[in-house]
Amino acid sequence: MSLRTKKALLYTGAAALLVAVFVLYTRPQMMVTLGDMIWACFQ
C-alpha cells in the first residue's frame, strides 16, 4: 500500500469516528446513560 492510500484510509477512519461521536451527542438519552455510567465508576 502506498503512503497516499494509507493517509487516505487514516483520514477516512478519523472522519468516520468524528461523525459517530457527533451522532451520539445528538441523542440525549445516550448522554444521560453515559453520564450515569461515568458517575457510577466513582461512587
Distance in angstroms (rounded) separating the CA atoms of residues 9 and 3: 10
Residue-level pLDDT at 5: 96
pLDDT tens-place string over residues 2-24: 999 999 999 999 999 999 989 88
Tally of domains within the chain: 1
Q: Which positions ≥6 away from 25 have C-beta within 8 Å?
A: 31
pTM comes to 0.61
Q: Which range marks the domain in which residue 29 is found?
A: 3-41
| HEC sequence for 2-38 | CHHHHHHHHHHHHHHHHHHHHHHHCCHHHHHHHHHHH
